[in-house]
Amino acid sequence: MAEPSSAQKRFLKKRQQKLRTVTLVRILIFLVFLMLWEASTRLGLIDAFIFSSPARVAETFLSMAADGSIFRHIGITLLETLLSFFLVFAASILAAVLLWMSRSLSRILEPYLVVLNSLPKSALAPLLIVWLGANMRTIIVAGMSVAIFGSILTVYTGFLEVDPEKTKLIYTLGGRKRDVLTKVILPGSVPIFLNTMKVNIGLCLVGVIIGEFIGSREGLGYLIIYGSQVFQLDMVLMSIVILCILAMCLYQCLNLAEKLYLKKI
């Protein structure tokens, strides 16, 4: 393998410097926000009881971490999110394959999928509680309901956009529809799968929180509702901050998986 030229080295060096600069600016903005928030509460510019403060959020976290309760709530929300995410991923691929295999079925079901995807999923949560009861199964279904219909449509559309010339080649060589699916459609749709997964992980988390708002006694969604009801707004803001961190970590995990895949191809 040839050594990179001096121009390429300079380009890579400048690119790394830009990435480091972007990272530093992001961290700086976050730190400035925290300092302004804390200073505003200490100087009385905003009401610390209503808006809390970084110090009060940290104190609430440490007090709940001391007895381990916060980790239980985080674990419950994370488990429900991951279960709903993997179920959505498997169900969307299966449904997209069925739609691709039968164009008549896709023409029949596509309008229903569009309508269901447009339906506000928060309206379904109370019905799910009545139908399935207030349990983890209901929360998982609520998480799935937010992402599954859009995921099916996205994956199915991705199947239709795979290189048609490769499909023709398989048929020319005597292959069947099953061969096209396993040798062209599924391998060619891996980027679509990865992009859909990155969207779905956030949607599943939103659906799980909606479900926990209504029918749960554990989880970060329950802490938000409970904290607002008893006016423990430090707990509410702490839960929101943890949700932001959790969403970012889950997204970065999928982003890392995508980078590893791109390096292999």
pLDDT in tens, 183-223: 888 888 888 999 999 999 999 999 999 999 887 889 999 99
Q: What residues does each domain of the chain span?
A: 70-264
Q: What is the pLDDT confidence band of residue 134, given thresholds at 50, 70 and 90? A: confident
pLDDT in tens, 26-48: 999 999 999 999 999 999 888 88
pLDDT in tens, 83-121: 999 999 999 999 999 999 988 888 999 889 888 888 887
Three-state SS letters, the chain: CCCCCHHHHHHHHHHHHHHHHHHHHHHHHHHHHHHHHHHHHHCCCCCHHHHCCHHHHHHHHHHHHHCCHHHHHHHHHHHHHHHHHHHHHHHHHHHHHHHHHCHHHHHHHHHHHHHHHHCCHHHCHHHHHHHHCCCHHHHHHHHHHHHHHHHHHHHHHHHHCCCHHHHHHHHHCCCCHHHHHHHHHHHHCHHHHHHHHHHHHHHHHHHHHHHHHHHCCCCHHHHHHHHHHCCCHHHHHHHHHHHHHHHHHHHHHHHHHHHHHHHHC
Q: Which CATH architecture has domain 70-264?
A: Orthogonal Bundle (1.10)
Q: Is the pTM of this model over 0.95?
A: no
pLDDT of residue 1: 47
